[in-house]
Chains A and B, each alone.
Chain A
Amino acid sequence: MDLTYTEEEQDFRARLREWLAATLPGLPPRPDPLDWPGRRAYDTGWQRRLYDAGYAGLHWPADAGGRGATPTQHLIFLEETELAGAPYVGANFVGLLHAGPTIAAEGTPRQRARWLPPVLRGDEVWCQGFSEPDAGSDLASLRTRAVRDGDAYVVTGSKIWTSHAEVADWCELLVRTEPVSAAVPKHRGITWLAMPMNAPGVTVRPLRTLTGTAEFAQMYLDEVRVPVANRVGDENDGWRVTMVTLSFERGTAFVGEVVACRRTLRRLAAAARGNGRWDDQELRRTLGRLNAEFTALWRLTQWSVSEAQHTGTAVPGNGGSVFKLRYSHARQELYDAAARVLGAGSLDLSHDWTPERLSSLSYTIAAGTSQIQQDIVAERILGLPRGR
């Protein structure tokens, strides 16, 4: 058990810190959440700066255009960029954290060469076309159909809760290529496709969320032709490919956010002391308890990164579900505590903790609800029998 960083890791941190200190002061603030094109330009612009400085795709393997950095270096990167207040990955989220790693792991050399470099350079943005109105947590029930016609799949159906759909160039799309039958269980017959968002037949309708902003969209697909060459993995093998994607989502997507929560917690304590609410014993102890929570979650992160580095596994394991279960609830508790610090001020949407409080409500739902994560922990880690 060793938490000291090697000399090489410390050098890496020092150089990164220096670069951030030199780069960040010149950056304008991130555009308003309603300005999607503005956000896309801002987020991809930041990605380009990372690329030019050699920090793009740190955790991607070198033969996928990444830097082949160790998991520990990636951890340092996420920690330092968050501590420095660097821009959020934003519109590049799906490309960098889901689609990219999936293509890197499952794509052909040609597919890797076509799709990975533009993600790293910030030239292309991806969105995630998994969920459907009747297939959310029960993702395997998806019904969007793809019928083979020569060298293309003809896709018809509808997707929902698709983040960044309005500004995306590509969509990682799950389609049904074989109808469910006695011979084909619902987890089979699914295929993973890269769909160009400008293809004829794609219609995107923004969906307003309870935060008041249009964070994601519903997508209608009407006989959209997707080349067979855009299929990642085998036909009807999309479920396995998807599990690779989801394990990335659960394994590494929240690392930087733990650091952010620890910063927010300190700001909360300062604000509470400033407005006298620090004298409220119950609130003060809640903040103390959250200090323990986020410290423990950070240590768990370091633990799993150390395990990953040792085993050399590119794909994070089911342990991500343990982390996500606790983290998503802790984040909600954090912003509920923020509301108690602010008092009636928490009703003012212009305070940045109020939108955060609203958006934290999605954390126990998005990327697999807490109930689904509990099943994963119970069945895949603890080995309890399957059932409902």
Chain B
Amino acid sequence: MDFRLTDDQRALRAGVRELLEGRFGRERLRAAVDKPAPGADPALDRALWRELGDAGFFALRLPEKDGGVGLGLPEAVLAFEEAGRALVPGPLVATHLAAGSVPGAATGETVVTRVDGELVEWLDAADCVLGGTGITAGAVPVRSVDPLTPLHRVPGGAGASGEPPEPGAALGALLTAAEQLGSAARTTEAAVHHACEREQFGRPVGAFQAVKQLCAHMLVRTEVARGAVYGAAVTGDPVEIAGAKLLADEAAVRNARDCLQVHGGTGFTWEADVHLHLKRAWVRAERWPTAGDASETLAAALL
């Protein structure tokens, strides 16, 4: 047993982080957030999508003979963790799941989304919709809380009953959990950075126990979620995946809230990135399985 990152996995993680920092750094993130007129849907950056495709982001788990990278679930999880850190917008999980079955998905030429529960993300931008043939006809646009995730509501959509929306759903849940993990880690870093810089009463606010305890719990949530997500990536066990989604959702949402709290008044502004993490974490937490579905799966496994 050697349950740690291999050198190749570390290199992969560093490579994806570098790629995303270069291609979708803070300036690009802010440009994407601030560019559309208020209330307008953001545009999907198709050039970025193709670059992610070229880098093997979508074809990561496809066999090499099919033009893929031939890596496994743990590597995909590391890549999605980085995407979550960087807040990359777009239906990343759906396109990754479609690689190999939808032409052009693996290379990022085709943008694929999927119906998940009552919601479908990026419907207008997508070339193809998984898991909801025909039912998107009645889809109604939603004024999405997340400025970088346009949403449509599909009454009675796939997965709305708590059942998996499609055969690949468990994989999608794990990759979503990985994104949540990356977000949770990022907001922890942001909170710690701010707590060391911001001075009040003549000292950094991070010297105050109340702030320290918020930060400590952020790290604990992140590390517990990491254990769950990495473990599920290795075993591929559906019950472990449900646990990973549950704990990673919780870590991403609660860490973003605590990060906002540590930032004080600054955290409540549009200029601070923390609300973007919180809103995206809320969106991902509504993807299958939600906390209720996941805990039922985990409970049933005890019997």
Among the 9-residue stretches A14-22, A102-110, A179-187, A283-291, the one with 4 or more Cβ atoms under 8 Å from chain B is A283-291
Given A287-B299, A291-B302, A292-B246, CB of A302 within 8 Å of CB of B1: yes
Nearest residue in A to B245 (C-beta to C-beta)?
Answer: A292
A385 touches B203 (CB 8 A): yes
Partner of B230 from A1, A268, A309, A381 at Cβ < 8 Å: A1
Cβ of B261 within 8 Å of any chain A Cβ, yes or no, is: no
Bound Cα distance A98, B261 (Å):
39
Contacting residues, chain A, for B144 (C-beta < 8 A): none
Bound Cα distance A16, B203 (Å):
56
Cβ of A375 within 8 Å of any chain B Cβ, yes or no, is: yes
Bound Cα distance A306, B204 (Å):
36
Cβ of A388 within 8 Å of any chain B Cβ, yes or no, is: yes
Total interface residues on B, CB under 8 Å, equals 55
Given A3-B234, A5-B1, A378-B212, CB of A293 within 8 Å of CB of B195: no
User: B-facing mask of A294-332, CB < 8 A → 1, else 0?
Assistant: 011111101101110110000000010010011000000
Bound Cα distance A386, B204 (Å):
10
Contacting residues, chain B, for A234 (C-beta < 8 A): none
A3 touches B207 (CB 8 A): no
A383 touches B196 (CB 8 A): yes
Contacting residues, chain A, for B4 (C-beta < 8 A): 1, 303, 306-307, 310
B1 touches A1 (CB 8 A): no
Number of A-B contacts (CB under 8 A): 175
Bound Cα distance A379, B240 (Å):
32
B298 touches A288 (CB 8 A): yes
Q: Which of B205-219 contact A (CB under 8 A)?
A: 206-209, 211-213, 215-217, 219
Cβ of B292 within 8 Å of any chain A Cβ, yes or no, is: yes
Given A1-B4, A379-B212, CB of A270 within 8 Å of CB of B247: no
Q: Determine which residue in B207, B223, B246 has the highest number of CB atoms from chain A within 10 A of its CB, and name it.
A: B223
Bound Cα distance A285, B240 (Å):
15
Partner of A269 from B1, B195, B244, B299 at Cβ < 8 Å: B299
Cβ of A387 within 8 Å of any chain B Cβ, yes or no, is: yes
User: B-facing mask of A231-268, CB < 8 A → 1, else 0?
Assistant: 00000000000000000000000000000000001101
B247 touches A2 (CB 8 A): no
Total interface residues on A, CB under 8 Å, equals 56
Bound Cα distance A83, B214 (Å):
36
Given A3-B231, A269-B302, A383-B196, CB of A299 within 8 Å of CB of B3: yes
Q: Determine which residue in B228, B239, B300 has the highest number of CB atoms from chain A within 10 A of its CB, and name it.
A: B228
Bound Cα distance A383, B302 (Å):
39
B299 touches A299 (CB 8 A): no
Partner of A387 from B2, B3, B207, B223 at Cβ < 8 Å: B207
Bound Cα distance A287, B302 (Å):
8
Partner of A374 from B9, B216, B224, B292 at Cβ < 8 Å: B216
Cβ of B233 within 8 Å of any chain A Cβ, yes or no, is: yes
B209 touches A375 (CB 8 A): yes
Q: Which of B261-303 contact A (CB under 8 A)?
A: 292, 294-303
Contacting residues, chain A, for B195 (C-beta < 8 A): 384
Q: Which of B70-123 contact A (CB under 8 A)?
A: 74
Contacting residues, chain B, for A359 (C-beta < 8 A): none
User: B-facing mask of A357-382, CB < 8 A → 1, else 0?
Assistant: 00000000000000101110111011
Cβ of B192 within 8 Å of any chain A Cβ, yes or no, is: yes
Partner of A295 from B2, B228, B295 at Cβ < 8 Å: B228
Bound Cα distance A298, B231 (Å):
9
Bound Cα distance A378, B207 (Å):
9
Bound Cα distance A319, B208 (Å):
22
Bound Cα distance A386, B299 (Å):
42
B228 touches A285 (CB 8 A): no
User: A-facing mask of B225-259, CB < 8 A → 1, else 0?
Assistant: 11110110111000110111011000000000000
Given A6-B1, A289-B246, CB of A284 within 8 Å of CB of B296: yes
Nearest residue in A to B223 (C-beta to C-beta)?
Answer: A322
Contacting residues, chain B, for A303 (C-beta < 8 A): 3-4, 226-227, 230
A155 to chain B, nearest CB (A): 34
Contacting residues, chain A, for B9 (C-beta < 8 A): 1
Bound Cα distance A281, B91 (Å):
33
Given A292-B242, A296-B224, CB of A385 within 8 Å of CB of B295: no
A254 to chain B, nearest CB (A): 14
Cβ of A111 within 8 Å of any chain B Cβ, yes or no, is: no
Cβ of A9 within 8 Å of any chain B Cβ, yes or no, is: yes
What are 10 of the A-B contact pairs (CB < 8 Å)?
Answer: A1-B233, A2-B1, A2-B2, A3-B1, A3-B231, A3-B234, A296-B244, A322-B223, A382-B192, A384-B207
Closest 8 CB pairs of A and B: A387-B207, A292-B243, A288-B299, A299-B231, A288-B298, A288-B295, A269-B302, A300-B227
User: Known contacts A288-B295, A291-B243; can you find 15 more A-B pairs with CB under 8 A?
Assistant: A1-B6, A72-B1, A284-B295, A288-B299, A292-B298, A295-B243, A296-B243, A299-B3, A306-B4, A310-B2, A322-B223, A377-B219, A382-B219, A384-B211, A388-B207
